[in-house]
Homo-oligomer: A and B are copies of this chain.
Amino acid sequence: MPARPAAHAMGTRSRILATASEEFAASGFEGTTVDRIARRAKVNKAMIYYHFPSKRALYTTIVRDRFTAITEKLQAIAAQPLPPDRKLDRLIETLVRSIDEAMHFLPIFLREIADGGVHLGAEELALITGVFATVSGVIAEGTRSGVFRSIHPALAHFTIVAPLLMFRATAPVRARIKTVRRLEIPDADSATVVAHLQMVARRVLMPTEPGREG
């Protein structure tokens, strides 16, 4: 894993990374074979072990790169001089766009959660924490300024992020259900998802209580 490989190797390395992403997403870490990555990336298996010390290191590189990209985008928004409710709207837009641009990463993320994060090092855990810190930080900002009410920070975070992740992640299962056809679970485009999540955030964080609860 040279920090700066020769120019003609870049294509090979990134082709390995791209193919491995697809394979890990489709089959999981254990279900993915290095043989298959090599065949599909049209490189020799030994080339993979030239660029990466192990199958696990290849996997970790993919996870870290993706977490870094998303975390940086979100933190850039949180740093902007905007009121908290506008920031949250923009965070939601960016989250939806990030997921839709890298849908292949969702299965990897879900399996990582299922594995209890045992393959995540301090660096990757810090990046995940950064996403939570950014979203819940903007909500806390709004709570302080009075535009949002006070709410359990983790539940607030998951109320916004989890529906997005699960709705997008379940698209293949929903497509399979459609073939068995007892009832269709409809899909939704990006704009619809963004508008829905922004509406949810607004209603859930709205300070004035509309109904019966105290």
- Which A residues form the contact surface with B (CB < 8 A)? 25-31, 106-108, 110-118, 120, 122, 125-126, 128-129, 132-133, 152-155, 157-159, 161-163, 165-167, 169-170, 172-174, 176-177, 180, 182-183, 185-188, 192-193, 196, 199-200, 202-204, 206, 208, 210-211, 213
Contacts and interface: CB of A to CB of B under 8 A. Distances in A.
A213 B183 CA distance: 31
B176 A117 contact: yes
Given A125-B173, A162-B163, A203-B203, 7 more contacts: A25-B114, A106-B114, A113-B166, A125-B180, A155-B196, A202-B211, A206-B211
Contacts of A182: 126, 129, 133
B172 A116 contact: yes
A2 B176 CA distance: 30
B111 A154 contact: no
Number of copies: 2
Contacts of A28: 28, 30-31, 111, 114-115
18 contacts: A25-B114, A27-B30, A28-B30, A108-B114, A110-B114, A111-B111, A118-B176, A120-B173, A132-B183, A152-B188, A154-B187, A155-B192, A155-B193, A157-B185, A158-B166, A159-B163, A162-B165, A199-B213
Given A115-B107, A132-B183, A211-B206, A158 B152 contact: no
A112 B129 CA distance: 25
Contact of A158 (B30, B132, B153, B163): B163
Nearest to A123: B180
Contacts of A169: 113-114
B204 A154 contact: no
